[in-house]
């Protein structure tokens, strides 16, 4: 996973990151799906352990351009995981009440508790992405938010939260194919939003905004992972493996059972 992890202070040029990359994996889609099933099982066991130990908290941030695959990643990577210990939070356009507060006010209540995995489908990063590209905030405001985000994530990390941030990196051509598929397939038409075409025209601005956000906020306590996402099967494999390896690194243990259980007789 180190090949996709952005080290703190590293310069980022998204045009140099190949969305079609499949790394050193040459087993093809079929073998990848088999490996993903294995990772699904491991993730399920690790999530149960996380819940039982009730010590660690895990926050997963997913960001991508439209059609980048956030929903599909959640569906595929967390298949079979007990929903009791996992929450998905989707951040839409802020409400009038949320706009009356600081930009992190609506985010903090959704941070994970002990034993919990929380997935942000979009996140606080919208306030240095859309706010920047759409001129929803002055540059003096959104530029200062990088430091605020780093400080916010540092607070979460210092309080026991493990943070993984994934940018699902697709090409503009791949986005075109996926948008067209939504138009062509009746079951997917409900997903098509004409507003996505307006956002697509701003692709260069979004790439610059993502570049700066990733570069400024990939820290030791909350690293960014740039995931090649043109091939959905490889995207899922990378994300699943990164999460599994991270959870394994927590060295979790089941709580000690009550004493003298060997004497218990269930009548």
d(C-alpha 165, C-alpha 129), whole Å: 15
For residue 177, tell me if it sits in a domain. Answer: yes
Q: Residue 38: inside a domain, yes or no?
A: yes
The domain in which residue 63 lies consists of 5-252
- 107-136, pLDDT tens digit by residue? 999 999 999 999 999 999 999 999 999 999
Overall average pLDDT of the 167-175 stretch: 98
Please give the torsion angle defined by the CA atoms of residues 179, 234, 245 and 162, in that order, rounded to the nearest 10 degrees. Answer: -10
> What confidence score (pLDDT) does residue 258 get?
74
Query: In this predicted model, what pLDDT tens digit does every residue of 23-81 receive, in sequence order?
Result: 867 777 888 899 999 999 999 999 999 999 999 999 999 999 999 999 999 999 999 89
In a domain, 239, yes or no: yes
Residue 265 lies in a domain: no
Is 185 a domain residue? yes
- Indicate which CATH number applies to the domain containing 108: 3.40.50.300
Give domain status of residue 264, yes or no: no
Is the pTM higher than 0.85? yes
Predicted confidence (pLDDT) at residue 193 exceeds the cutoff of 90: no
Asked if residue 100 belongs to a domain, the reply is yes
N residues, the chain: 267
Count Cβ atoms below 10 Å from residue 48 Cβ, excluding itself: 17
- How many structural domains does the chain have? 1
Mean pLDDT of the chain: 94
Beta bridge partners of 119: 60, 88
Q: What is the percent of the chain with per-residue pLDDT over 90, rounded to a whole number?
A: 84
- Whether residue 267 lies inside any domain: the answer is no
- Supply the DSSP symbol for 262: G
């Amino acid at each position: 996973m180190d090949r996709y992890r952005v080290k703190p202070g590293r310069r980022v040029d998204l045009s140099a990151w190949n969305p079609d990359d499949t790394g050193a994996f040459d087993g093809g889609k079929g073998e990848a799906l088999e490996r993903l099933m294995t990772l699904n099982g491991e993730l399920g066991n690790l999530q149960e352990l996380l819940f039982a130990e009730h010590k660690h908290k895990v926050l997963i941030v997913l960001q991508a351009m439209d059609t980048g695959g956030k929903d599909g990643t959640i569906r595929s990577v967390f298949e079979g995981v007990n929903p009791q210990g996992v929450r998905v939070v989707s951040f839409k356009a802020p409400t009038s009440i949320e706009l009356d507060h600081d930009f992190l006010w609506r985010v903090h209540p959704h941070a994970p508790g002990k034993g919990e995995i929380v997935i942000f489908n979009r996140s606080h990063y919208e306030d240095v992405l859309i706010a920047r590209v759409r001129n929803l905030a002055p540059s003096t405001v959104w530029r200062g938010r990088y430091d605020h985000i780093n400080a916010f994530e540092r607070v979460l990390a210092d309080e026991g939260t493990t943070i993984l941030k994934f940018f699902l990196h697709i090409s503009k051509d791949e986005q075109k194919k996926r948008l067209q598929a939504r138009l062509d397939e009746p079951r997917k038409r409900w997903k098509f939003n004409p507003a996505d075409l307006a956002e697509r025209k701003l692709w260069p601005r979004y790439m610059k905004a993502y570049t700066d956000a990733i570069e400024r906020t990939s820290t030791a306590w909350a690293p960014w992972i740039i995931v090649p996402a043109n091939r959905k099967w490889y995207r899922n494999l990378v994300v699943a493996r990164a999460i599994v390896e991270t959870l394994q690194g927590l060295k979790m243990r089941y709580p000690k059972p009550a004493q003298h259980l060997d004497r218990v007789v269930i009548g």
